[in-house]
Amino acid sequence: IEPVQREIERLAGEGLYGYDDDTLEAVVARLLLERGRTLAVAESCTGGLITHRLTDIPGASGFLREGLVTYSNEAKMELLGVSPETLGKFGAVSPQCAREMALGARRRARTDYAVATTGIAGPGGGTPEKPVRLVYLAVAAAESGAPGDGQQPGERVYLRRIQVVGERERVKHISAQTALDGLRRVVLGGEVSHWELIS
């Protein structure tokens, strides 16, 4: 079976995250624990699903500092420091808001990494400019691989926009899966395909 496995690995490339019964959250947890890195999570449309999946992993307390479900604009401002100007000009479902959520979570919890989600899970609430099932994801990281201290200098943020097909639960699942995979790629330090590095 080894030649077949090698061919699958070649074809899958960076999309391959594990073997056998590996889950994406288990792989992410292992990477963070092995590197001694910490994580904060800020969720809106995923409603705590990412944090739930990570806390299913034994030993999650070794890397997970904080998980916040900031569903309202008020919570985004009060707990994550998202600016009223950002929300007023771009709205909660925007790359600007996702970026500020991730940065706010990382700075608040003083972690190496933070992941954030904001979107419209549906079935209602969309507009022509922001259709139902539109989601923005962000991963914030301390620069240079040094353990994070929560300070602003030396941060980088990766952003991704996805448009999911399906019902509300599928939107949440795909959003969480995509966010965890983006985090995995950032932690590994390689190419972060389909994500835009903005700072």
Which residue blocks in 56-167 are alpha helix, DSSP H?
73-80, 84-90, 95-109
Please give the pLDDT value at position 152. Answer: 52
Helices 24-35/168-188 angle, 10° precision: 30
Give the relative orientation of helices 73-80 and 95-109 as an angle to the nearest 10 degrees: 40
Q: How far is CA 165 from CA 9, 54, 134, 173, 196, in A?
A: 27, 24, 9, 11, 22
Contact yes or no for 158/136 (Cβ under 8 A):
no
119-166 pLDDT per residue, tens? 999 888 888 889 999 999 999 999 754 444 454 558 999 999 999 999
pTM score of the predicted model: 0.89
| pLDDT tens-digit profile, the chain (199 residues) | 888 888 877 777 777 777 778 899 999 999 999 999 999 999 999 999 999 999 999 999 999 999 999 999 999 999 999 999 999 999 999 999 999 999 999 999 999 999 999 999 988 888 888 999 999 999 999 975 444 445 455 899 999 999 999 999 999 999 999 999 999 999 998 778 889 998 7
Element (H, E) at 10: helix 2-12
